[in-house]
Amino acid sequence: MDADYLTFKPYFHNEDVSLYLDDCLAVLPSLKEESVDMIFADPPYNLSNGGITCKAGKMVSVNKAHWDKSHGLMTDFNFTVKWLEECRRVLKPNGTIWISGTMHSIYQVGFALQALKFQIMNEITWFKPNGSPNLSCRYFAHSHETVLWAKKSKKARHKFNYSLMKNWSSDLINRNGKQMRSVWTIPLTPLREKTSGKHPTQKPVELLKRIIASSTTKEDVVLDPFNGSGTTGLVAGLLKRKYIGIEKEREYLDLTLKRLGIKDQLKLSSMPGLLRTQA
């Protein structure tokens, strides 16, 4: 069957949340064109190369899982282009996309965004004050990630809740009412956010709060094509947004449900208005 007419049944669905168990390249084509207000994507950084890092004062492997292994520069880049093409299709004309990465991946993402005619609006530096030290002592310690914020075209009228971000109470620099800067000081994900379980690349709630609060309004639809532990969905719910999450690993969708406080899976059905109809 033509991919344009595939319809996926969600792993879980209620009025505000739809979770899908599959690869994002399989699910995204089934979503209706221009149906999403904002996308946050935390794609694989392709860092699982057999190296070492420091965690809780101990030497540990950087290997996270098979999905974090590089398949070569061009294969990795082609994957980036494919999922970004689908994200562009489902994003509303004035919608925006946020993408996180490190030096290992973010330059591919930036080039792909420009090649696909996105307009990059900001490059956010997420500074981690409690980042891990560099065990080799041959490089500067890696203590930040980059988050790109882009819209579909230069003329798109994107949402930006300026006053809210100017007075964001958890930003140490901006407490005096100055404009929020593009360097965000946010510690690594605290243990209290992992009591239900954890994901090796789990993002802190504060990071997603800033992202979603700054660029959406209540009842907007937020999509995360790499759901992971569901932090995007958790924050979307806290801020009264609707959420679509896509994840390949069942255990992380179950973790997401647990973090959302959902004990039992409800009857599965398509989210009205967001799925293409079958031909």
pLDDT digits (tens, 9 = 90+) for 252-271: 999 999 999 987 554 343 34
**Per residue in 68-98, pLDDT tens?**
566 678 889 999 999 999 999 999 999 999 9
- Which H or E element spans position 55? strand 52-55
Nearest to 15, CA basis, from 217, 272, 260 = 272
Give me the sheet containing 119-127, strands edge to edge: 12-13, 17-21, 242-247, 221-224, 36-41, 91-101, 144-151, 119-127, 183-185
The pLDDT value given to residue 70: 65
DSSP element (H, E) containing 231: helix 231-238
Answer whether residue 279 shows pLDDT above 50: no
Least confident of 3-12, 60-69, 137-146, 186-195: 60-69
* pLDDT, average across residues 119-142: 91
Mean of the per-residue pLDDT values of the chain = 85
What's the mean pLDDT in 18-36? 95
Q: If we measure between CA atoms, which residue out of 84, 78, 103 comes closest to residue 150?
A: 84
Domains, the chain, in order of start with CATH, read 3-259 (3.40.50.150)
Instruction: Name the token pair of 249.
Output: 């690993």
Q: Pick the more confident residue, 175 or 52.
A: 175
Q: What percent of the chain has pLDDT over 70?
A: 80
pLDDT digits (tens, 9 = 90+) for 176-232: 678 999 999 999 989 998 998 878 889 999 999 999 999 999 999 999 999 999 999
Backbone phi and psi for residue 127, each to the nearest 5 degrees, phi listed first:
-85, 130
**Whether 276 contacts 4, CB under 8 Å:** yes
